[in-house]
């Protein structure tokens, strides 16, 4: 009868460990083994109080080593202990049950005890050394298909930097468990619990993982911020698998309003490198709560170079849902949260576009026409160069510039953005490797370039049927090459037409009209 009950209990516990729901973010599970006594201790916290907690321990060959059930305490803590009779190797601990809404996984390593050396003659007491426990690693399979690795680091008392390493085997194991997203990549989240007194975090990464062309992302979550890296981030560094790669992140300063300045850099074999890779930009999210009276649209990110010069990163924006300042960068330096509210002296007759112009100017996306008079000249038609600069900055596009159009000078303020547009295939110029930067651009040319840029930026849109152009009086005036991109922009609400129900494809657009168009595009991403 006892055997039947045991079989029933084990079966029910196995079923309890097959769920795949959302887990509590503050829950943690650790497992340790005393290699001499074979005693295994499993401890956890963050469970739903007074609920059933199920544990299952598997050996490296997948066979069952231990299974049991307990009830979480009123504070959400729980524990198990048992003596294993299994072989040396890695053991996987799975925690589930009614006390959790998802399976939590961690591992421990059972190793042969260290054999003490024979004490020297002459007597004297000696203690048998013990093998230190392996630092705990918790692995969680998330509902979105990503896998989280939660690992505590060790605070270096001299530098006040928390140091930890991502083991290659742990990463490979997580990659096997992760599912591909709709975009065909996997995501591994590395969560590092905050350590009191820490100024920064130094995460050692497997060189092979950051030097490959596979399809996965690493997301390092610390109290400094979250750093999302492509696995090809260091593909241009010619790394060897034996190289020691460390991502260093730290908080440099915090002002009275809580605005942080953070620093990020890579070291390879203990030497700091100047990382830059336009093909694998890194997304950074820095926690921040706006001060009273701050308009989140005017919060920006500035990068500070080695000479102390500050430049606004155009793609920086406040994430209201997450409470973070988010931006992407293709190079490392110091990054600071700032509040900027730019305005111009000649917007009195263009109040309908004032908000859009000021927001884009504050983010460094658009610029005025005179710093001396502080003018924007909103009624002037926008040129090909200014529109291209505005489009590239709105979408935060980057590229390595091998060459540029013959009529673009390296000292032109739009040199970089026009070069990016050429490198990415957004613009092919007007022929004979010319761009004609000062010419006024037509509305259908603007919309065609925008459609190409959105595709290159990977922005998801719903396709628009060209028949949608029939809703405009002059829809049949749209050039064939522009019909598809304009239809898509209309279908996604980015182009709304004029008050007289025209789209005016052959006409020009004023600087104010273009600013409102780019503002909609900026917030569409």
Over the stretch 292-328, which tens digit does the pLDDT of each residue have?
999 999 999 999 998 899 999 999 999 999 999 999 9
Q: How confident is the model at residue 489 (pLDDT cuts 50, 70, 90)?
A: very high
Secondary structure (3-state) at 390:
helix
Q: How confident is the model at residue 2 (pLDDT cuts 50, 70, 90)?
A: very low
| Closest to 145 in 3D by CA, of 191, 173, 182 | 182
Distance of alpha carbon 236 from the chain centroid = 20
Q: SS3 letters for 93-122?
A: EEEECCCCCCCEEEEEEECCCCCCCCCCCC
The verdict on domain 28-110 having CATH code 3.20.20.110 is no
Residues 220/247, Cβ–Cβ less than 8 Å: yes
The span from the first CA to the last CA of the chain, in angstroms, equals 63
pLDDT attached to residue 24: 39
Distances, alpha carbon 110 to alpha carbons 114, 174, 398, in Å: 12, 20, 49
This prediction's pTM: 0.74
Q: In the predicted model, what is the mean pLDDT of residues 340-365?
A: 96
Q: How confident is the model at residue 238 (pLDDT cuts 50, 70, 90)?
A: confident
Whether 18 has a pLDDT exceeding 50, the answer reads: no
Kindly give, in sequence order, each residue whose CB lies less than 8 Å from that of residue 231, ignoring residues fewer than 6 positions away: 209, 210, 212, 213, 214, 215, 216, 217, 218
Tell how many helices (H) and how many strands (E) occur in the chain: 8, 24
Whether 212 has a pLDDT exceeding 80, the answer reads: no
Chain segment 247-302, per-residue pLDDT in tens: 999 999 999 888 999 999 999 999 999 999 998 899 999 999 999 999 999 999 99
What phi, psi does 310 have (nearest 5°)?
-105, 130
Chain segment 197-209, per-residue pLDDT in tens: 999 999 999 887 7
Query: Please, where in the chain does CATH 2.60.40.3080 lie?
Result: 28-110
Kindly give, in sequence order, each residue whose CB lies less than 8 Å from that of residue 302, ignoring residues fewer than 6 positions away: 310, 311, 312, 313, 335, 336, 338
Which of 206-215, 403-412, 442-451 is least confident?
Answer: 206-215
Secondary structure (3-state) at 30:
strand
Distance CA 113, CA 161 (A): 32
Of 12 and 402, the structure prediction assigns the larger pLDDT to 402
Chain segment 39-69, per-residue pLDDT in tens: 898 988 888 888 888 899 998 888 889 988 8
pLDDT attached to residue 214: 62
Give the strand order in the sheet containing 137-141: 64-71, 52-58, 89-96, 104-110, 137-141, 147-151, 186-191, 216-221, 226-230, 282-287, 324-329, 317-319
Q: In the predicted model, what is the mean pLDDT of residues 395-403?
A: 91
Q: In the predicted model, what is the mean pLDDT of residues 392-405?
A: 93
pLDDT attached to residue 61: 84
Q: In the predicted model, what is the mean pLDDT of residues 2-13?
A: 44
Whether 22 has a pLDDT exceeding 50, the answer reads: no
What phi, psi does 351 have (nearest 5°)?
-60, -30
Distance CA 333, CA 275 (A): 9
Residue with tokens 């509590």: 24
């Amino acid at each position: 009868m006892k055997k039947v009950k045991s079989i029933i209990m084990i079966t029910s516990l196995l079923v309890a460990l097959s769920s795949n729901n959302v887990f509590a973010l503050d829950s943690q599970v650790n497992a340790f083994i005393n290699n001499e006594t074979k005693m295994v201790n499993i401890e956890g916290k963050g469970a739903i109080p007074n609920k059933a907690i199920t544990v299952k321990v598997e050996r490296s060959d997948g066979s069952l080593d231990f299974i049991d059930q307990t009830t979480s305490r009123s504070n959400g803590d729980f524990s198990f202990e048992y003596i294993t009779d299994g072989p040396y190797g890695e053991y996987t601990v799975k925690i589930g049950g009614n006390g959790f809404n998802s399976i939590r996984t961690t591992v421990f390593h059972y190793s042969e005890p260290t054999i003490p050396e024979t004490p020297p003659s002459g007597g004297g007491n000696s203690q048998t050394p013990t093998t230190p426990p392996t630092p705990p690693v918790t692995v969680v399979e998330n509902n979105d298909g990503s896998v989280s690795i939660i690992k505590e680091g060790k605070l270096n008392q001299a530098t006040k930097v928390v140091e930890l390493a991502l083991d290659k085997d742990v990463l490979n194991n997580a990659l096997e468990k992760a599912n591909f997203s709709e975009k065909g990549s996997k995501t591994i989240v590395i969560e590092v619990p905050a350590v009191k007194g820490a100024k920064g975090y130094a995460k050692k990464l497997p060189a092979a993982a950051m030097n490959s062309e596979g399809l996965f992302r690493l997301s390092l979550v610390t109290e400094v911020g979250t750093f999302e890296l492509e696995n090809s981030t260091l593909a241009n560094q010619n790394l060897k698998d034996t190289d020691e790669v460390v991502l260093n992140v730290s908080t440099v300063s915090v002002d009275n309003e809580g605005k942080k300045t953070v620093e990020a850099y890579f070291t390879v074999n203990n030497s700091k490198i100047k990382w830059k890779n336009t093909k694998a930009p890194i997304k950074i999210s820095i926690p921040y709560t706006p001060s009273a009276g701050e308009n989140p649209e005017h919060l920006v990110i500035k990068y500070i170079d080695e000479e102390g010069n500050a430049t606004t990163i155009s793609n920086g924006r406040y994430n209201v849902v997450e409470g973070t300042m988010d931006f992407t960068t293709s190079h490392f330096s110091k990054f600071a949260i700032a509040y900027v509210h730019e305005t111009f002296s000649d917007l009195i007759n263009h109040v309908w576009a004032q908000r859009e112009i000021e927001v884009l100017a504050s983010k460094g996306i658009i610029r005025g026409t005179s710093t001396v008079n502080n003018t924007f000249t909103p009624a002037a038609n926008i040129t090909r160069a200014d529109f291209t600069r505005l489009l590239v900055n709105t979408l935060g596009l980057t590229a390595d510039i091998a060459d540029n159009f013959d009529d673009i000078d390296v000292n032109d303020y739009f040199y970089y953005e026009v070069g990016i547009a050429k490198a990415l295939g957004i613009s092919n110029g007007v022929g004979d490797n010319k761009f004609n930067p000062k010419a006024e651009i037509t509305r259908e040319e603007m919309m065609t370039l925008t459609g190409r840029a959105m595709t290159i930026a990977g922005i998801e849109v719903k396709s628009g049927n060209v028949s949608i152009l029939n809703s405009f009086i002059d829809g049949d005036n749209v050039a064939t090459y522009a019909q598809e991109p304009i239809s898509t922009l209309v279908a996604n609400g980015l182009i709304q037409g004029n008050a007289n129900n025209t789209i005016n494809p052959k006409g020009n657009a004023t600087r104010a009209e273009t600013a409102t168009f780019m503002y909609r595009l900026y917030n569409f991403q």
